Structure 1
Amino acid sequence: MPHSRGAELRRAEQVPDHKPSNNPAPNSSPPSPIPHRRREVFAWMMYDWANSAYSTLLITVVMHYIQEVVLPGDAGPVAFAWGIGGAMIAAAVLSPIVGAEADANRSKRRWLAGTAFCGAAATVAMALVPIEPAWLVIALFVLMGVCFELSLVPYNGFLLEITDERTINRVSAWGYALGYAGGSIPLVAALLLFKYSHHAGLTDQTLLHRLCILMLGLWWGLFSLPTVLILRDRGPRPDSTEPFGRAARAAVARVARTIANIRRFPVLALFLLAFLFYNDGIQTVITQATTVANKDLHFSVGELFLLVLMIQLIALPGALLMGRLSDRLGQKAVLLGCLVVWSGLLIAAAAVEEKTSFWIMGFVLALVMGGTQSVSRALMGTITPQRHAAEFFGFFNLSGKAASILGPVQFGLVILLTGQARLAAVSLLIFFIVGGLLLAKINVAEGRRQAAG
């Protein structure tokens, strides 16, 4: 995605007082002392490739395994939705602590390795344990979700260390694009396994589900290796590393001070509040859309694979398109446009009764899904002081996860009360309305000045 001259001119207009200087202000974000090597950027993007298997197989084979094998009946959709909600709230509590500790000890790489490999191990264990007792399967399901969310804290924190203002949109968008491309491979493998395994004498549906979940864990763990082996924390290391308990207490204190002083970055605070709402809606739609297809429209597991594969393939150019548009039109304008599309899809969900209509909705969703996420991440990066990168991206995850329990819980409750997943989807509209109204009030140029000052 080439950097546009129009974006260059807009940035000059947004920061009119900027002048070249050999002595930048103490609180400004200095350029990285290490060149932005393609090797580092590629290694960073590889984690999008690695964790993409979680994103695609979670909403297909893992969802189907829990709802049709482990807990068949009405308990399955509720356990799936509430399990995701539980993982989100746990990640919300831990994300700021992980981010602050990673900043204090220059340990983003260590935290990324620990959370990624722990999540992969939990996934492998989920594939191997028996379905009884069901609580053990659900516990491993929640653990893999917590690890996935926590791994994004140091991962996103690395973004500012390998990019600058000219390249952050491009690298963020390419990271999501590589993830969408990579996520299609395990999805196709799972589809082929379900479709042709009977030729090899494999007809046990429970075994097929377990093999796909095992593949998910191995994919996540193995493809995380390039990221962990190549990326390194930048900046001076502390003279001594505090024990985790002491570091955690210090991190909590720093987080508390950051919350108390968040008024120093009012644009960032308002963005985090807006993101809290609209991202809750987005994440719930992403994780529960296949529940609508499975419960209300009676999609087979093969049709679910094909639906998500189509979304993956369309989301790839969609993410790149939104990244290009954010360079030309501005991040805020693109985000608001995406939220309007999300809202329209939820309204349409109330009337959908045919599989063909749902496929069309999935196509439109794919166009804005990756763009909404990548542009949000890039916008967060442009209004975040670089010296607080991991800590504030911890708050980015906090903003995304703290209320994320509300969407899945609300979704599950509506299913319990009405028996219709479509109405549960429509109920999520409130998150997009509130988030969009808050986002409309953000002054991005002022946010950049606050971050630099």
Structure 2
Amino acid sequence: MTAADQRIHPLRNPQVLCWVLYDWANSAYTTLLITVVVAYLQRIVFPADQWGNVGPIVWAWGISLSMFLGALLSPIVGAIADAHGNKRRWLGITALGGSIASIVLGLVAPGHYVLVVALFITANLMLELSLSVYNGFLPEIATEREVNQVSAWGFGLGYVGGGIALLLALGIIQFGDRIGLTAVETRLRAGLVLMGCWWGIFTLPALWVLSDSPPRSRPESTTATASSSFRDVVRTLKGLRSNPPLAFFLVAFLFYNDGVQTVISQSSTFALQELAFTESDLMGVILMLQFLALPGALLVAKLADRFGEKPSLMACLLLWVGVLTTALFIRSQIWFWVLAAAIALVLGGTQSVSRSMMAGMIPQNRNAEYFGFFNLSGKATSWLGAFLFGAIFALTGNSRWAIFGLLPLFLIGAGFLSRVRPAQHVVRGQRDAPGPCEDPVQRENL
């Protein structure tokens, strides 16, 4: 097989195939999280007629807490795995740990609400930690020219895998009575078990085939490794002083990326609480979003090629602002479908163009360092939006205002993005940015 053939068909490499299968594996969790898990928590474990507003608050703040812990622990876990050359072990611990927590979540009776919440937070935290380890394999299994294409395969298969898992869960919800699952509670719990089993089973190929790289040096203690990781972050922060466009961009990304992730995770609460969606209706919306997001990302990529990355990204943020503003006024389910379709068109594009802009502004030969920091910056405030949503809902009891309250995240992000001068990153981007056929999309774990 020639080098050109390998670039065209990256999945012929067993390590690449098994690596992208982990996207397929964890996408079942990220998709069923915002459909089955949210409905189970808000309608079964903490029903409104008994608990009032507790369900949506537990959901929002549980997401926030797990993301906060993930932001703290991900750099440390990643640094330890790199330093000791045992990323595969850490991937197994985190991915299978999350899978088991998801399965047990479906087996535990909903009356054990403290245990249910603990399992929910644990599963979400394990996903965050597993992704930090998983991403570290990419430069080891693909050349610099192949990285973007392999990443795109993971993104695409993730959407397909999540969509298939959602279809199976939808079948359980709709036709569960034919297999003896007569109660909605039982069907939702079966969906949770499906979620955990899918995640765990499709993780196994990666654990079997991927190989660890040698330790970077003589293994240090966990404390020393964590301290070294912290020093690396500080060094990169100091380096941003000489690159103001990149500094403005990263601050912008901190805010608008958190807004994007929070809208995706909390819009289910809006649908359930304000528009009285059934579990099946909610799954239908998310299924549509799954299959529209990829062509939407490709469309935004073409617009970025024609009009430039910054104008295209600003247009995406403007559409997000429009979605949040419109959500304040909609009263019918059909308008939620319309807004979900609009989100699908810019969801992948917002991430892919952000990544392209980042590639055009980083100093030469420092890709790994700055993309590592880029991933860390995406996690640093990832807890803020969900916490803000939960706080507004706790004060108002209205998820409509809670969704609208996320608007400042997009406005602040757009404000900092406007300070980035395109000429400064386009010139650098001509040197080492990906070609137009490479990685039109970039997945961000939900």
Letter in 2 for 1:127: G
SS in 1 for 2:218: coil
* Correspondence 1:179-194 to 2 at 5 A: 179-194=158-173
Residue 80 (structure 1) aligned to one of 59, 74, 87: 59
Amino acid across the alignment from 2:55: G
User: What SS does structure 1 have at the residue aligned with 2:131?
Assistant: helix
- CA deviation digits over 1:364-400, x for unaligned, max 9? 1111112222333454455557976666445334322
1:93 aligns with 2:72: yes
Bigger mean CA deviation after superposition, 422-431 or 268-277: 268-277
For 1:240-389, list aligned pairs within 5 A: 240-263=218-241, 266-380=244-358, 383=361
Q: Is the 8 A contact 1:270 1:438 kept in 2?
A: yes
Contact 1:62 1:213 in 2 (8 A): yes
1:51 shift after superposition: 1.2
Please tell me whether the aligned partners of residues 187 and 305 of structure 1 are also in contact (alpha carbons under 8 angstroms): yes
Over residues 163-185 of structure 1, what are the superposed CA-to-partner deviations in whole Å (9 max), with x where a residue is unaligned? 56765554434432221111111
CA 1:374/1:243 → structure 2, altered by over 3 Å: closer, same or farther? same
Contact 1:176/1:319 (8 A) holds in 2: no
| Residue 56 (1) aligns with residue 31 (2) | yes
- Which piece of structure 1 moves more, 319-328 or 148-157? 319-328
Offset, 1:298: 0.1
Q: Higher mean Cα deviation, 245-254 or 379-388?
A: 379-388
What is the letter of the counterpart of residue 97 of structure 1? I
Task: Give TM-score scaled by structure 1 length.
Answer: 0.83
Distance 1:378 1:232, change over 3 A: farther
Distance 1:384 1:243, change over 3 A: farther
Distance 2:365 2:137 in 1: 12
- Cα distance, 1:218–1:192 mapped onto 2, change above 3 Å: same
**Where does residue 419 of structure 2 map in the other structure?**
441
In structure 1, what is the Cα distance between the partners aligned to 2:392 and 2:164?
A: 34
**CA deviation digits over 1:329-353, x for unaligned, max 9?**
5443432222121111111111111
Superposition deviation, residue 435 in structure 1: 0.9
**266 and 151 in structure 1: CA distance in 2 versus 1, 3 angstrom threshold:** farther
AA in 1 matched with 2:103: V
Q: Residues 175, 441 of structure 1: CA spacing in aligned structure 2 closer, same or farther, 3 A cutoff?
A: farther
Deviation at 1:255, TM superposition (A): 3.2
Shift in Å, 1:220: 1.1
Closer, same or farther: CA 147–375 of 1 in aligned 2, 3 Å: farther
CA contact (8 A) 1:106 1:233 kept: yes
Q: 1:147 to 1:376 in 2, by over 3 A?
A: farther
CA-CA distance at 1:289 after TM superposition = 0.7
Cα offset, 1:271, TM superposition: 2.6
What CA distance in whole angstroms lies between the structure 2 residues aligned with 1:386 and 1:341? 33
Question: Which ranges in structure 1 are unaligned for 5 or more consecutive residues?
Answer: 1-34
Q: Tell me how far apart the structure 1 counterparts of residues 68 and 218 of structure 2 sit (CA, whole Å).
A: 32
SS at match of 2:110: coil
Query: What do you get for the CA RMSD once the two structures are aligned?
Result: 2.9
Displacement, 1:229? 3.4
**What is the match of residue 384 of structure 2?**
406
Residues 195 and 302 in structure 1, CA contact (< 8 A), matched pair in contact too = yes
Partner in structure 2 of residue 121 of structure 1: 100
Return the TM-score normalized by structure 2.
0.84
Whole-Å separation in 2 of the counterparts to 1:284 and 1:44: 27
1:351 partner SS: coil
Q: What corresponds to 1:46 in structure 2?
A: 21
Where does residue 5 of structure 2 map in the other structure? Answer: none
Deviations 1:75-104 (A, max 9, x none): 000100010011111111112223333443
State whether structure 2 residue 40 is matched by structure 1 residue 65.
yes
1:165-176 correspondence to structure 2 within 5 Å? 168-176=147-155
CA deviation after TM superposition for structure 1 residue 206, in Å: 2.1
One-letter identity of the residue aligned with 2:31: T
Quote the offset at 1:301 in angstroms. Answer: 0.6
Decide whether the 8 Å contact of 2:275 with 2:333 is kept in 1. Answer: yes
Equivalent residues of 1:70, 1:131 under 8 A apart: yes
Aligned mates of 1:325, 1:161 — CA distance in 2: 32
Distance 1:264 1:143 in 2: 40
Deviation per residue, 1:293-341 (Å, 9 max, x gap) = 1000000011111111111111132233334444555443432222121
Mapped contact 1:173–1:323 kept (Cα < 8 A): no
Amino acid at match of 2:197: L
Secondary structure of the residue aligned to 1:365 is helix
Identical pairs, percent: 46
Deviation at 1:279, TM superposition (A): 0.8
Q: Unaligned 5+ residue runs, structure 2? A: 1-8, 434-446
Deviation at 1:430, TM superposition (A): 0.9
Letter matched to residue 45 of structure 1: V
